[in-house]
Chain A
Amino acid sequence: MAPHTYESASQCLGDLVLVDFRLESTCESQFRKAERHTMVNSSMEKLKNAFVKVLGVGPDGNFESMAYGETQGWDSIAHMNLVAEIETAFDIMLATEDVIGMRTFVKAKEIVARNGASFA
């Protein structure tokens, strides 16, 4: 089967954001890989964006070290706004225990992953 070009893969993908498709051999596999890659990227981006938007941190900040009560601006009021932002971004609803337990960026990633997002 002839390799598909970027253009043909794009037709498969519709509005999804791109990866480099040219090494892939079928439209279907390109779709799967592109979809997965897009989800991975967008999950991390979405989570970071929520922190950027609510806490006012820079997009290139050290997210992995961010923690409730330690990172500037991450107080109780910001926490609830952060929860709402994450829930909206991922279209999920977190359990109260997760709202309470989400005390670091790393933990937030874990909780969001448990609710269906892929970071792998």
Chain B
Amino acid sequence: MILQDKVSFITGSTRGIGWATAREFARNGAIVILNHRGSSSLLEERCRELDAEFKGTVMGLTADVTDGPAVRNCYLEIFRRFKRLDVLVNNAGILQDALLGMISEETIRAVMDTNLVGSFMHLQEASRLMTRNRRGSIINVSSIIGRFGEEGLTAYAASKAAVIGMTIAAAKELARKNIRVNAVAPGFIDTAMTNQMPPEKFQQRMAAVRMGRIGKAEEVAQAIAFLASDMSSYVTGQVLGVDGGMVI
């Protein structure tokens, strides 16, 4: 199993790509630390599901990625329990769809706070914990929108582009400590977010995918697992598109 006993923290991991990643990691033998900002009952339910299916070590941490002290407490708890962190998957994110001129300052700040500042804080805390063992892998979940942009998603695109910049810079800084930092950029993926799209827009997006089908969250999770594992031990500072050849 490619992630056997790797202590892995996955933010925003109770649904969508985060949940698929948690399952993929558990399937591959990782010690999985789930995170959710909302109800602890959902987190507990997810922990139980993983435990029942994969029988591995699972922990749940309720914390909002925009809450600095809460983020820090996550790492104190991880340190207390495991004394190390091998993998961070910076997955938690939000998407707000609005045209320029109609985006409030509050919306811009909320998107940047969750998608960029929250990821940044996690990266910083995780890298310090990983520095002690001089090894680790951090995977930031960006988006095809962060690479190529999309109308109606300027705030989201800006935040996800910033995640790519953060990834490349952090990879350079942390390489000498044997900590790898990479990003995945999912394309059109079947999640609750895409299921809420108007049919017209859904078809428009589908037409842009060269492979002619929507991606599965599990397929993004597999790419993340590859970057987390030693199978990518010489890969850092990369942005891996998981988009079926999508063009936008």
Nearest to A99 among chain B residues (CB) is B128
Q: Are B124 and A80 closer than 8 Å at their CB atoms?
A: no
The 0/1 profile, CB within 8 Å of B marked 1, for residues 72-113 of chain A is: 000000001101100110010101100100000000000000
Interface of B is mostly: helix
How far in angstroms is the closest Cβ of chain B from A28? 30
B216 within 8 A of A: no
Is B156 positioned at the interface, with any CB of A under 8 Å from its CB?
A: no
Residue interface bits B18-42, CB-to-A below 8 A is 1, else 0: 0000000000000000000000000
Residues B76 and A80 in contact, CB atoms below 8 Å apart: no
Chain A residues with Cβ below 8 Å from B83 are: 91
Interchain CA distance A84-B132 in the complex, whole Å: 6
Tell me if A87 and B72 are in contact (CB < 8 A).
no
B131 CB-CB contact with A under 8 Å = yes
What is the interface of chain A mostly: helix, strand, loop, or mixed? helix
Q: Which of B72, B129, B131, B132 contacts A96 (CB 8 A)?
A: B72
* CB-nearest residue of chain B to A91: B83
Question: Are B132 and A88 in contact (CB-based, < 8 A)?
Answer: yes
Least distance between B57 CB and chain A CB atoms (Å) = 20
Tell me whether A80 and B131 are in contact (CB under 8 A).
Answer: yes
**In the bound complex, what is the Cα–Cα distance between A81 and B131 (angstroms)?**
8
Would you call B124 and A87 a contact (CB within 8 A)? no
Q: How many A-B residue pairs have CB under 8 A?
A: 21
Does A83 lie within 8 Å of B128, measured CB to CB? yes
Residue-by-residue, is B76-90 near A (CB-CB < 8 Å gives 1, otherwise 0)? 100100010000000
Produce 1/0 per residue, A14-28, CB < 8 A to B.
000000000000000
* CB-based contact B131/A93 at 8 Å: no
Residue pair B124, A96 in contact (C-beta under 8 Å): yes
- Determine the distance from Cα of A91 to Cα of B129 in the docked complex, in whole angstroms: 11
- Which residues on the B side are within 8 Å of A81 (C-beta)? 131
Complex contacts, B79 vs chain A, CB 8 Å: 93
Q: Is the CB of B124 within 8 A of A93?
A: no
Q: How far is the CB of B7 from chain A (nearest CB, A)?
A: 14
How long is the Cα–Cα vector from A93 to B75 in the complex, in angstroms? 9
Q: Are A95 and B72 in contact (CB under 8 A)?
A: yes
Expressed in whole angstroms, the minimum distance between the Cβ of B33 and any Cβ of chain A is 16
Docked Cα-Cα span, A80 to B76, in Å, equals 18
Q: A84-B128, A84-B131, A87-B132 are in contact. List 14 more A-B contacts (CB 8 A).
A: A80-B128, A80-B131, A81-B131, A88-B132, A91-B83, A93-B76, A93-B79, A93-B128, A93-B129, A95-B72, A96-B72, A96-B124, A96-B125, A99-B128
Some 21 contacts from A to B, beta carbons below 8 A apart, are A80-B128, A80-B131, A81-B131, A83-B128, A84-B128, A84-B131, A84-B132, A87-B128, A87-B132, A88-B132, A91-B83, A93-B75, A93-B76, A93-B79, A93-B128, A93-B129, A95-B72, A96-B72, A96-B124, A96-B125, A99-B128
